[in-house]
Amino acid sequence: MARYVRDFSEGDKDQKDLLGGKGANLAEMTRLGLPVPPGFTITTEACRAYMRTGEVPPELRVEVTMAVRHLEDTLGRRLGDFHEPLLVSVRSGAKFSMPGMMETVLNVGLNDASVQGLASLSGDERFAWDSYRRLVQMFGRTVLGIDADLFADALDKAKAARGVSADVDLDAADLRGLVDTYKQIVRDESGREFPQHPREQLDLAIVAVLDSWGTERARLYRRKERIPDDLGTAVNVCTMVFGNLGPTSGTGVAFTRDPATGRTGDYGDYLVNAQGEDVVAGIRNTLSLADLEGVDPAAYAELRQAMRRLETHYRDLCDIEFTIERGKLWMLQTRVGKRTAPAAFRIACQLVDEHLITMDEALARVSGAQLSQLLFPQFAADVAGAELLTRAMPASPGAAVGQVVLDPARAEEWAAQGRDVVLVRRETNPDDLGGMIAAVGVLTARGGKTSHAAVVARGMGRTCVVGAEELVIDTEAGTVTARGRTVHEGDVVALDGTTGEVFVGDVPVVPSPVSRYLEDGLDVALAEAADEETRDLVRAVDRILTHADTVRRLRVHANADTAADAGRARRLGAQGIGLCRTEHMFLGERRVLVERVVLASDDAGRQAALDALLPLQRADFVELLEAMDGLPTTIRLIDPPLHEFLPDLTALSVKVAVDRERGHVDPDDERLLAAVERMHEANPMLGLRGVRLGLVVPGLFDLQVRAICEAVADRIAAGGSPHAEVMVPLVGSVQELRIVRERALATMAQVGADRGVPLTLPVGCMIELPRAALTAGRIAEEAEFFSFGTNDLTQTTWGFSRDDVEGAFFAQYTANGVLAVSPFETIDVRGVGRLVEVAVAEGRATRPGIGLGVCGEHGGDPESIRFFHGAGLDYVSCSPFRVPIARLEAGRAAV
Ligand code: ADP
Ligand code: MG
Ligand code: MG
């Protein structure tokens, strides 16, 4: 068998690695007996050899000769023949489709002689010259790299000279003149003649397709889509058939179902008397497939049949490129079609109902990313009338309408008054978090899709548009200006996080029907749906999600700090709280008490402050446990450095200095300043925080554990079923945990005795330091469960400070290929994932029934969930609004 060339009749659809997607599917259609013009595929192996050596492998030239001879013999026509010329197309086709990235040359084999042959063979001189001018044009652009506008301008001039507006109105003589003009352009621009020898045309076109794999834009596209650079493309050489042979010919694209809405029934565009890309280029108005039925019922019927055949064969939505040459149908391409999120869900269920696929397969055909698209609010009406302020990078989808605010603190203030606000910032940083949480949308002038604003907004499900460079933000004046339009703080803008558009004024938004379904149930969503299509979508999501719930092994918990969040998470299907952070319980008016704990000069003073905090904390936990009644609720003891709860060092220094100047300083301020100075750390995230804080500041963890225990006792007394678990953060050594655990057990025993209920709350720890993962076997002696804190574990494994690296640094790192994706977004399986695996294995070896979960953003990331499923964890925990996505992805991981 030849090494580098395969006839279309040799391959099949499963050989995409070798033949590329287009080649494999052309082979499959040939095998099915569909009318595919004969041809052959040059394999991706040839491309890889070419990339390695920079030379076309010599065997390839020989094999191409054999394959062309075979084609010529089969068809009884010769490449470049004066009487009966064979023409071919040279088409790229990689394993993964890269729309618009790669090259195709049509009508290869035409020259000054064979154009005559084509004219007499077809009896249509105009057609022959039209084909020739297309070859020179495509060859000039693709192979010789000449600016496409030069050819387009010449075509426009020719039309203008004749006073016609459509290219079909040019006659043979016009087109013949155009060929001369085009050849002159080739001469002027490339310094060479348009090659007359057909084999030279063919060889140059093949090399051009091979080269198109390595272009900058193709590389960029692959990086974005995470397609490896070393796959290479195949090259398909396919006998030409002609859609530009007069009114009984044409070319079109078709889908077996509507890829935009998922509606059943075929769907497509057809252009009479046209070739190649004319349809998508939109040069003339196209006909619908229904119109085609009127024009050519026989060809239409055959097409319908072929489409049905393909859909049954692939058991999925197919998209198709076809050409009709004088009433004869030819199939030029097919593949499983791309589709929108609603179409994906609807079509998957349709195919189940048509008994073409199983529910497991339906589940595999939708994704968490698609589900998340269905959850964002939508602009209610079309936005055609709205005034565009700017258009930038869509970073997090959705539709947000609110008043412009330029300051995060004010955003919180206004939001607290019940106003919807859009936070507009040059860029955001971790200090803006409160404002971002308060806002319905975030707009920044700087940064890309991995900027702080983008990442945080996606994580929270906030609509976000970033990198609106034309925005001029004047915080002094409180204005935002772009395109000559100035918007003041308080004015309303509308952000479309799917398109990146920003409008001035109100564009009404509504919650999506699917989020209605998730929040309020199927009946409400169906009752409120605007139309039957929407009801169909809601039903499809319900069916697939329900199936995911039945097949998944991973439980899905939520990260929720308040009863309100917990309740929401529960409505969305959370089966527990995987992470309740307790930090927020030390803010607001409780700050004063924290200050007193820190400032206490003796044990009694400290204990008094702690005692004052106790009832407040207990009340928080009672509410939370009530919301999560019957479900596991993992409460993490205080994690961040204590100074985060104290006043800012600079601000306090200034205040004290000013007071001194005035002659009166509050002694409390002096002591506070001394304490803040004492606690100042160069690198607080690696400093006195987590379990370290608990061991160093007496009474702090005791207070929290007591509050939890008392809340549990209260809930039991109220007839509830609380399942609180105590989680210790930032453990690096088993000794740390041992001390904390012994004290916790003592507190449990004491509260249990006082309240007359036995309390046995599980105590476990976060695994978020490499040392914890590597000594997990020992830590498991003291831990009843592990929760992988993969955010910190990623920071500490890589030595990246998350808050600092995600801006320009990561943008560079992804641009130059060091990182395919931010390790904070998708777990770094090789490094961080390995630590997880080590800890799972060691933890289970010590304590076979040890509970294993993950909290942190990776718990809601599809690819990471797949990894956690494989690693054998019991649950993932993610933010409440990602719970449905995690349910779906955990299901997909299991089928
Ligand atoms: P893309 O990958 O961009 O879709 P193709 O290789 O499919 O590029 O070529 C683009 C278009 O050129 C096709 O849709 C088809 O209309 C036309 N084409 C390609 N090969 C042939 C052929 N052998 N005969 C007629 N038209 C062809
Ligand atoms: Mg195509
Ligand atoms: Mg942490």
pLDDT-derived band at 630 (thresholds 50, 70, 90) equals: very high
User: Is residue 251 within 6 Å of ligand 1 at its C-beta?
Assistant: yes
Q: Is 361 labelled a binding residue?
A: no
Q: Is 107 labelled a binding residue?
A: no
Q: 725: closest CA among 738, 736, 741? A: 741
Which one is catalytic: 47, 464, 709, 855?
855
Superfamily of domain 250-339: ATP-grasp fold, B domain (3.30.470.20)
Superfamily of domain 552-641+681-894: Phosphoenolpyruvate-binding domains (3.20.20.60)
Q: What is the mean pLDDT of residues 804-814?
A: 78
The more confidently predicted of residues 469 and 405 is 405
List the chain domain ranges. 5-239, 250-339, 377-511, 552-641+681-894
Average predicted confidence (pLDDT) for the chain? 92
Q: What is the mean pLDDT of residues 735-759?
A: 97
Residue 812 pLDDT more than 90? no
Residue 1 pLDDT more than 60? no
φ, ψ dihedrals at 101, nearest 5°:
-90, -30
pLDDT-derived band at 602 (thresholds 50, 70, 90) equals: confident
CA of 280 to the centre of ligand 1 (A): 11
- 105-114, 370-379, 802-811 — which is least confidently predicted? 802-811
> Could you tell which of 106, 244, 245 is best to mutate to test the pocket of ligand 1, judged by most ligand atoms within 8 Å of the CB?
106
Nearest Cα residue to atom 10 of ligand 1: 276
**Residues 693-724: pLDDT tens digits?**
999 988 999 999 999 999 999 999 999 999 99
> Could you tell which of 134, 321, 324, 331 is best to mutate to test the pocket of ligand 1, judged by most ligand atoms within 8 Å of the CB?
321
**Residues 200-245: pLDDT tens digits?**
999 999 999 999 999 887 887 787 677 888 999 999 999 999 998 9
CA of 729 to the centre of ligand 3 (A): 6
User: Is residue 276 within 6 Å of ligand 1 at its C-beta?
Assistant: yes
Q: Is 636 labelled a binding residue?
A: yes
- 7-21, 183-197, 284-298, 735-749 — which is least confidently predicted? 284-298
Angstrom distances, CA of residue 527 to CA of 21, 512, 514, 521, 893: 43, 14, 12, 10, 32
pLDDT of residue 810: 82
**Residues 603-618: pLDDT tens digits?**
898 899 999 999 999 9
pLDDT of residue 761: 97
Which one is catalytic: 47, 238, 452, 858?
452
Q: 852: closest CA among 742, 734, 766, 745? A: 766
pLDDT of residue 306: 97
Q: Is 789 labelled a binding residue?
A: yes
Residue 811 pLDDT more than 90? no
Return the ligand 1 atom nearest residue 93 CA: 2
Q: Is 429 labelled a binding residue?
A: no
Nearest Cα residue to atom 24 of ligand 1: 240
Nearest Cα residue to atom 18 of ligand 1: 276
DSSP state at residue 685:
G
- Ligand number, closest to the Cα atom of 772: 3
CB atoms within 10 A of CB 256: 28
**Residues 282-339: pLDDT tens digits?**
556 778 898 999 999 999 999 999 999 999 999 999 999 999 999 999 999 999 988 8
- Ligand number, closest to the Cα atom of 108: 1
Q: Is 790 labelled a binding residue?
A: yes
Residue 278 pLDDT more than 80? no
User: Which alpha helices (H) appear in 628-683, and where do they start and end?
Assistant: 649-662, 667-679
Q: What is the mean pLDDT of residues 366-373?
A: 91
pLDDT of residue 381: 60
Residues with CB under 5 A from ligand 3 (ion): 768, 789, 792
Active site residue 488: no
Contact 861, 825 (CB under 8 A): yes
- Ligand number, closest to the Cα atom of 856: 3
Nearest Cα residue to atom 20 of ligand 1: 89
Residue 97 pLDDT more than 90? no
- In this prediction the pTM is 0.83
Return the ligand 1 atom nearest residue 322 CA: 16
The more confidently predicted of residues 355 and 677 is 355
Dihedral angle of Cα 868, 874, 880, 881, to the nearest 10 degrees: 40
User: Is residue 321 within 6 Å of ligand 1 at its C-beta?
Assistant: yes
> Could you tell which of 107, 139, 333, 335 is best to mutate to test the pocket of ligand 1, judged by most ligand atoms within 8 Å of the CB?
333
Task: Give CA–CA dist 137/140, Å, rounded.
Answer: 5
CA of 303 to the centre of ligand 1 (A): 17
Q: 467: closest CA among 392, 390, 391? A: 392
pLDDT of residue 553: 97
Residues with CB under 5 A from ligand 2 (ion): 321, 333
Active site residue 452: yes
Residue 624 pLDDT more than 70? yes
The residues, any chain, with a CB within 8 Å of residue 433's CB and separated by 6 or more, are: 408, 456
DSSP codes joined into one string, 436-459: HHH-SEEEESS--TTSHHHHHHHH
pLDDT of residue 595: 83
pLDDT of residue 282: 54
**Residues 372-429: pLDDT tens digits?**
889 888 877 665 678 899 999 888 778 899 999 999 999 999 999 999 999 999 988 7
Return the ligand 1 atom nearest residue 238 CA: 23
Q: What is the mean pLDDT of residues 444-466?
A: 77
CB atoms within 10 A of CB 222: 18
**Residues 527-537: pLDDT tens digits?**
998 889 999 99
How far from chain centre, in Å, is Cα 430?
23
User: Is residue 240 within 6 Å of ligand 1 at its C-beta?
Assistant: yes
User: Is residue 89 within 6 Å of ligand 1 at its C-beta?
Assistant: yes
User: Is residue 106 within 6 Å of ligand 1 at its C-beta?
Assistant: yes
The more confidently predicted of residues 670 and 334 is 334
The more confidently predicted of residues 98 and 696 is 696
Residue 449 pLDDT more than 70? no
Residue 2 pLDDT more than 70? no
User: Is residue 332 within 6 Å of ligand 1 at its C-beta?
Assistant: yes
CATH no., domain 377-511? 3.50.30.10
CATH no., domain 5-239? 3.30.1490.20
- Ligand number, closest to the Cα atom of 23: 1
CA of 670 to the centre of ligand 1 (A): 79
- Ligand number, closest to the Cα atom of 769: 3
Residue 347 pLDDT more than 70? yes
**Residues 824-848: pLDDT tens digits?**
999 999 999 999 999 999 999 999 9
User: Which alpha helices (H) appear in 108-251, and where do they start and end?
Assistant: 114-122, 125-142, 148-162, 172-190, 198-212, 216-225
